Amino acid sequence: MEWLAEYALFLAKAFTIVVAIFLVLMMLAALKGRSRRGEGVLTVNRLNEQLARSTERLGSAVLDKAAFKSMQKARKLAEKGRAKGDSARDKVFVLNFDGDIKASALENLRHEVTAVLELATPKDEVVVKIESGGGMVHAYGLAASQLVRVRDAGVPLTICVDKVAASGGYMMACIGDRVLAAPFAMLGSIGVVAQIPNFNKLLRKHDVDYEMLTAGEYKRTLTLFGENTEKGREKFQEDLESIHRLFKDFVSRYRPILDIEAVATGEVWFGLEALENALADELKTSDEYISQRIRVADVFEVHYAVRKRMQDKLASGLAASLDRLVLTWASRFHNQRFW
- The set of catalytic residues is 167, 219
**Which runs of consecutive H residues, i.e. helices, occur in the chain?**
2-36, 47-62, 65-84, 106-117, 137-152, 168-173, 200-205, 230-254, 260-263, 271-276, 286-294, 310-321, 323-333
Give dist(CA 224, CA 217) in Å, integer: 18
Give dist(CA 42, CA 143) in Å, integer: 19
User: Is 95 within 8 Å of 112 (Cβ atoms)?
Assistant: yes
Sign of the four-CA dihedral 127, 133, 139, 141: positive
User: Is 95 within 8 Å of 113 (Cβ atoms)?
Assistant: yes
Q: What DSSP letter does each residue of 137-195 carry, written as one string?
A: HHHHHHHHHHHHHHHHTT--EEEEESSEEETHHHHHHTTSSEEEE-TT-EEE----B--
Give dist(CA 308, CA 320) in Å, integer: 15
Give dist(CA 127, CA 306) in Å, integer: 22
Name the residue among 80, 78, 335, 110 with its Cα closest to residue 228: 335
User: Is 210 within 8 Å of 225 (Cβ atoms)?
Assistant: yes
